[in-house]
Every structure is written in structure tokens, then in C-alpha cells.
Amino acid sequence: MTLGVVFALAAGTYAMRLAGPLLRGRLQISPQWEQLMSIAAIVLLGAFVATSAVFESGGFAGWARFAGVAVGGVLAWRRAPFVLVVVAAAATTALLHLFELAV
């Protein structure tokens, strides 16, 4: 990647970040659109998590990772502390790999 491409990507990133505060007072968005955009962001993040949990390098990542993400997701949904969510998800994945129950 050339230096010019890096600078172009950096400039585009900062322009996008700057556009929000500059356009905030000039652009009026209805409350329905604000709610829709909030829901869309959550759905997009959920889709990314689901895709990362199931696929790796174009193939199935294995049941151990899927189970770990599922355990973490349920604990997060039940509003468990973040540390508990991460440790439980990692422990689930590690134990399934250790005992070769879900390769």
C-alpha cells in the first residue's frame, strides 16, 4: 500500500468524522429515521458478530466457537457483568476444544 493511499484513507476517515458535528445543526432528521438508524446499527453489529462466530477463512469455524459466542450472547442478554461474559465465553470454547467435543 503506497503512502498516498494511506493519506487518502486517513483524510476520508477524518472527513466522515468531521461531517457529523458540522452537519448536526443544518440537517434535520425525523425521530422515526433516528430510531431506524439506531436499530440498523444494532442489526449490522449483530450480523458481524454472527458471521465472525460461524465462519473463518471461508469455512465453518467449528461448534466450539459457536457455542462460546452463544454462551457470551446469552449472558450479555441477561445483563451479566462484562468480565463474566468474556470469561464464560472463552471457557466454554476452551473446554469444548480441550475435550474435543466440538471441533
CA distances in angstroms from 41 to 17, 68, 80, 87, 93, listed in the order given: 16, 23, 22, 26, 27
For residue 103, what pLDDT is reported? 60
* pLDDT for residue 102 is more than 70: no
Question: pLDDT tens-digit profile of 52-82?
Answer: 888 888 888 888 988 999 999 999 999 999 9
For residue 9, what pLDDT is reported? 94
Q: Is the pTM for the entire model greater than 0.75? A: no
**Sign of dihedral through CA atoms 42, 46, 52, 55?**
negative
**Gap between the Cα atoms of 14 and 7, Å rounded:** 11
Strand partners, 60: 55
Question: pLDDT tens-digit profile of 11-50?
Answer: 999 999 998 888 888 888 889 998 999 999 999 998 998 8
Strand partners, 64: none
Torsion, Cα 67 72 74 77, to 10 degrees, reads: -160
